[in-house]
Each structure stands twice: as structure tokens, then as C-alpha cells.
Amino acid sequence: MKKIVLAAAFTAAASTAFAGAMSDPIVEPEVIVEEQSGTSAGGIIIPLLLLAIVAAAASH
């Protein structure tokens, strides 16, 4: 009986020992998010263009 238990233990240990090989870890590349930096005059360009269009339309 002891031999059967011992054989079963060795069989279980051997099957898990050869279950797979060591492989290189898969490392995902870092995602770098670059924030767009606007100019200080970024908020005034559109109102100036609208003002120029209104002034051109009013002059006709």
C-alpha cells in the first residue's frame, strides 16, 4: 500500500514538473500620452476672425 501511495505521489510531482517550460515574459509597451500645449493667443484667434468677417460684411 505504501508503494502505491509513493508511486502516485511521484507521478503527480513529475506531471506538474514537466507541464510547461519557462518562457520570456510578455511586456507591453508603455503608452505615452503627450498633451498639446496651446499658445496664449489660442482663445482670441476665432473671435478676431469673426470680428473681421462681420466688419467685412458690414462694409458692403
Q: In this structure, how many other beta carbons lie within 10 angstroms of the beta carbon of residue 33?
A: 5
Q: Is the dihedral of CA 37, 39, 40, 43 positive or negative?
A: negative
Distance CA(11)–CA(4), nearest Å, equals 10
* CA–CA distance, 20 with 36 (Å, rounded to integer): 47
pTM over 0.85, yes/no: no
Tens-place pLDDT, residues 30-50: 888 887 766 665 678 888 889
| Residues 3-23: tens digit of each pLDDT | 888 788 877 766 555 555 677
